[in-house]
Amino acid sequence: MPTYRIREAAELLSVSDDTARRWTDSGALAATRDDAGRLAVDGADLAAFAVRHAAEAAPDPSGVGRSARNRFVGLVTRVVADGVMAQVEMQCGPHRVVSLMSSEAATELGLAPGRRAVAVVKATTVIVETPAEARA
């Protein structure tokens, strides 16, 4: 399993290096010293910590139950519509989500910058990539 230096662990958890160090100092995040004497976090431990400390998703304003589990509540930041199609961009926490839909659908939904919306992703294909050094 790979290990991550504090800077890398902090980046993966979307926190500052200082926050990651406080977590290791308090024992909340297990760390050891690598061969160079620097703090390192085991990849499996980091993954488990990330799951336990994941930010709570914003509540879905619709209250509707759906089978799709990938739901991102956020704000519409841009709508570009032509005669037939619209490109709708949303900021959902740290994630930028882009959807293509008919202009008619975007108009019917009242999509405009500043409007709260939920991006629901139900896909049969999810592409996973790893950096080259991870495959070595």
Angle between helices 43-52 and 6-13 (to 10 degrees): 30
> Residue 85 has what pLDDT?
97
pLDDT digits (tens, 9 = 90+) for 59-93: 666 676 666 677 888 888 999 999 899 999 998 87
Residue 136 has pLDDT above 60, yes or no: no
Class of domain 70-121: mainly beta
Global confidence as pTM: 0.59
Q: What is 3-52's CATH topology? A: Multidrug-efflux Transporter Regulator; Chain: A; Domain 2 (1.10.1660)
The answer to whether 119 touches 103, Cβ cutoff 8 Å, is no
> Residue 18 has what pLDDT?
95
List of residues 6+ apart from 65 with CB closer than 8 A: none
pLDDT over 90 for what percent of the chain?
Answer: 38
> Residue 129 has what pLDDT?
78
Strands 116-121 vs 70-81: parallel, antiparallel or unpaired: antiparallel
Q: Where exactly are the structural domains of the chain?
A: 3-52, 70-121
- Which residue type sits at 3? T
- Write down the mean pLDDT value for the chain: 85
